Chain A
């Protein structure tokens, strides 16, 4: 401080009203320029303070933390790290928004730990009553070891008090909020011994930043053996953030009370309904029901066109191309295989359309909060909700999303149970079986039975996940609990562009990711179904001709008898017959068995496999769509293959079985052991087999 002039730096998260505070303090006495060498805007102004003091106020770019990830943030860190900078502040005014105090305080605690005097300016206090918020200022001042200035720039409240606190900045405590050594006591002890005159937290910031600051470089770390590999540093940074949030949570639990029943704004009124302890769940269930209804009702038209279109294309290729192996491969293997993928684009697109709208509107965060209460009863962390909800799209990103669960056992349980959630790959399997065994009827005039069944399957997957978590939790004896922080975004109308991009990306990922595997498997299956041992497969025509001569097969049915004899004696037929004793108790014939077996690579292969098998086994120019072929499929005794009992048994099997090679690979990667993916495979498949067996035995 010189000549009664105090240097003030205004720092805060974006959108906290920092510039409004700056304007309120400086009025028209502002200068706008750039920081030297970079295009980041620099605003400085002067402010008259009580008792003849004056302040130069620097409005720094908005930043969430002192972990530099942009040039804007670098500007803030560089200034706070360099006490020799001509702009180094005598006091920092940290501007926060009363509604997002928790997130804003992360930056506050970091600056406090640099032992710089900080005044906490809580902005937008005019909204407190509207939001039902009460602040215990003396308590917060004591716990945060600072002075607080509640202000409302909109109503021009509290600015004079803030000016008075700036004048009294000398009386502010510079005691840190977090003891930096608690991040890693041994490491920090070493740092303290090597640099006894340096501030520990400042050293830590230099070590963890990805950039070299203009006046500081990291070479000193190498000379003292303090350099650590990046993943290790990231882990320590995460630990630091968790410790800070634990501190902030404890302080705000007492210092900031939000009574939503007193809040009067629109968002709070909507929240009161959507997050109600009864209505919240009812509304969520109704929304899910609406989504599943729409998936079946709206997508049935494009699906019928696609199905018919591919069947026509197969017939056209076999009629118009020169006869031969490749033509057969195209018409019976590749085209039905591609059709088996393309047909589900409408349903997957509708599912992601609804999920994107729910996410974009801000409702999904409410669901996460709502479900947290349920989760805890089953021993899962609130943070497990995010992977489980993501699991309805795909288990792979969902398992990767468990990385923010700090407690290893909670994370492991979440990884193990996430594949029970109904991912989009199960949708094609469910869709085709439901359409075969559940008649399309209206319930109460609005609900459709097929949509209700699909919703029941989603619930079954969720129940399997949380019940397994409960059992694993008991077996693994969890002790520690992690805390749950979720920020409720404001409600907003979803942006059409964002929703469209999400739908296109997710659908494209399904078609190009799973699609290539399905196509490759379809080609291989076609070969396996079209070739067989010479003594049986190779003599199919003679054998059937002999049967016709004996009168056991009608002459007009000879062609299809040859096709089915060949299929039964092809390599795939032999494999199917071999596994038949294992799958027969579940109600499956050898053809379904092949489809189940091949879908252990990826679930959606099921439909493509059946499409290929039935195309090879049927007439070459049969234009019937795959669903009609499945419905017409008969056992040797003439009974239908796809009865209700077989269908339900298949649905249950697919709901529980671990049939995704990529998920097993990601589990191995995340747990760094083959033990857990193997456990997942055996545990889930055993549940699937036993449940499908029970269901079939009861239903048949």
Chain B
């Protein structure tokens, strides 16, 4: 039986995993092109 404490803890886990996934895989990076140096490849 899940207690409130268990729910809170698993919510924190979901938040932590969600944040890392967003940070490293989903977040859209700033559009390339502005202020690029020569031969930067973009």
Q: Measuring CB to CB, which residues of chain A are less than 8 angstroms from any residue of chain B?
A: 229-231, 234-235, 238-239, 322, 324-329, 334, 402-406, 408, 411, 516-517, 519-521, 523-524, 527, 601, 661, 665, 669-673
Contacts and interface: CB of A to CB of B under 8 A. Distances in A.
Interface string B1-42: 001111011001101110110011000010011111111111
A239 B9 contact: no
Contacts of B41: 670-673
20 contacts: A230-B34, A231-B33, A231-B36, A324-B3, A324-B4, A324-B6, A325-B9, A326-B4, A326-B8, A326-B9, A326-B12, A329-B9, A411-B39, A516-B23, A517-B20, A520-B16, A523-B15, A523-B16, A524-B17, A524-B20
Contact of B37 (A324, A403, A665): A403
Contacts of A324: 3-6, 9
A405 B37 contact: yes
Given A231-B42, A524-B17, A527-B13, A403 B6 contact: no
B6 A520 contact: no
Contacts of B3: 324-325
A230 B9 contact: no
Contact of B12 (A334, A403, A408): A334
Given A231-B34, A326-B12, 4 more contacts: A230-B33, A325-B6, A326-B9, A520-B20
Given A325-B3, A326-B6, A523 B39 contact: no
A234 B12 contact: no
A260 to B, nearest CB: 32
A334 B11 CA distance: 13
A402 to B, nearest CB: 7
A406 B33 contact: no
Contact of A402 (B12, B33, B34, B37): B37
Contact of A672 (B4, B16, B34, B40): B40
A5 B8 CA distance: 85
B13 A403 contact: no
Contacts of B35: 234, 403
Contacts of A328: 9
B17 to A, nearest CB: 6
Most buried by B among A230, A234, A326: A326
A411 B6 CA distance: 51
Contact of A669 (B13, B17, B23, B29): B29
A230 B5 CA distance: 55
A401 to B, nearest CB: 10
Contacts of A402: 37
B34 to A, nearest CB: 7
Nearest to B2: A325
Contacts of A524: 13, 16-17, 20
Contact of A234 (B5, B19, B36): B36
A73 B29 CA distance: 33
Contact of B5 (A231, A322, A334, A665): A322
Contacts of A671: 40-41
B8 A403 contact: no
Contacts of A327: 5
B24 A661 contact: yes
A411 B35 CA distance: 15
A673 B41 CA distance: 8
Contacts of A406: 37-38
Contacts of B9: 324-326, 328-329, 527
A325 B5 contact: yes
A620 B9 CA distance: 17
A513 B7 CA distance: 27
Contact of A519 (B16, B17, B33, B36): B16
A539 to B, nearest CB: 21
Nearest to A401: B37
Contacts of A334: 12
Contacts of B8: 325-326, 329
B42 to A, nearest CB: 6
Contacts of A670: 40-41
Given A325-B3, A524-B16, A411 B34 contact: no
Given A230-B33, A235-B36, A408-B38, A523 B12 contact: yes
Contacts of A234: 35-36
A403 B40 contact: yes
A671 B6 CA distance: 45
Contacts of A516: 19, 23
A251 B3 CA distance: 80
